[in-house]
């Protein structure tokens, strides 16, 4: 009797692992994204439309939304990347503008200092040295201020362009969603 009892307990403990081994694996979603999913739009078929029909409907609604908004999200993506690159280049150019400013200022300052030194103390060399140092400092400071202002302007223009792109994308998603909803899909983005 005791052997039978131990066997029943062992069988009860082993039973869940046997049952788990017999369950059907959950089907994995396909690795290919739908058109809507690539735009982070979630679409659910309310009338039980098949995936092939949903794909066809999404394509039709995509084309309809492009025609009605004048916006193609895939082109917007390319434009957005180009704008980002242009903004980065403009910021680099603004930072490069400060190079050489000290030397240019030093030359101008030396000339002015030599003239002042000659008039004030008959020592053009000493005046040129002071003038060169002052000219270099002033020119660097002005160049840094101009660079900072140009960098801020480039960033502001880049942000405005990105915001406009985002608004266009949002309008496209609205049009795309309206079309799909008319075809009996539930849509969220």
- Ramachandran category for residue 70: left, alpha or beta (phi over 0 → left; psi -120 to 50 → alpha): left
For residue range 76-128, what is the model confidence (pLDDT) as tens digits? 888 888 888 888 888 787 777 666 565 666 566 655 555 555 555 566 666 66
For the record, the structure tokens of 1 come out as 């009797």
* Of residues 168 and 146, more confidently modeled: 168
For residue range 27-61, what is the model confidence (pLDDT) as tens digits? 445 557 899 999 999 999 999 999 999 999 999 99
Lowest mean pLDDT segment, chosen from 157-161, 166-170, 185-189: 157-161
DSSP code per residue over the chain: -HHHHHHHHHHHHHHHHHHHHHSPPPPPPPSSPPHHHHTT-EEEETT---HHHHHHHHHHHHHHHHHHHS--HHHHHHHHHHHHHHHHHHHHHHHHTTTTHHHHHHHHHHHHHHHHHHHHHS-HHHHHHHHHHHHHHHHHHHHHHHHHHHHHHHHHHHHHHHHHHHHHHHHHHHHHHHHHHHTTEEEE-
- Which pLDDT belongs to residue 125? 67
- Which pLDDT belongs to residue 161? 87
């Amino acid at each position: 009797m005791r052997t039978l009892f131990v066997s029943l307990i062992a069988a009860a403990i082993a039973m869940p692992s046997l049952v788990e081994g017999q369950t059907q694996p959950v089907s994995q979603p396909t690795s290919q994204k739908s058109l809507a999913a690539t735009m982070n739009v979630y679409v659910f078929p309310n009338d039980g439309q098949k995936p092939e029909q949903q794909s066809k409907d999404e394509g039709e609604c995509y084309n309809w939304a492009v025609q009605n908004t004048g916006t193609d999200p895939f082109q917007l993506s390319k434009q957005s990347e180009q704008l980002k690159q242009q903004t980065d280049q403009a910021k680099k150019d603004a930072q490069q503008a400060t190079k050489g400013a000290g030397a240019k200022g030093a030359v101008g300052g030396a000339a002015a200092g030599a003239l002042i030194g000659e008039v004030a103390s008959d020592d053009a060399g000493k005046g040129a040295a002071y003038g060169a140092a002052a000219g270099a400092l002033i020119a660097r400071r002005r160049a840094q201020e101009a660079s900072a202002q140009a960098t801020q302007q480039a960033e502001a223009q880049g942000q405005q362009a990105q915001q406009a792109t985002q608004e266009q994308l949002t309008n496209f998603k609205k049009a795309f969603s309206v079309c799909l909803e008319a075809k009996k899909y539930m849509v969220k983005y």
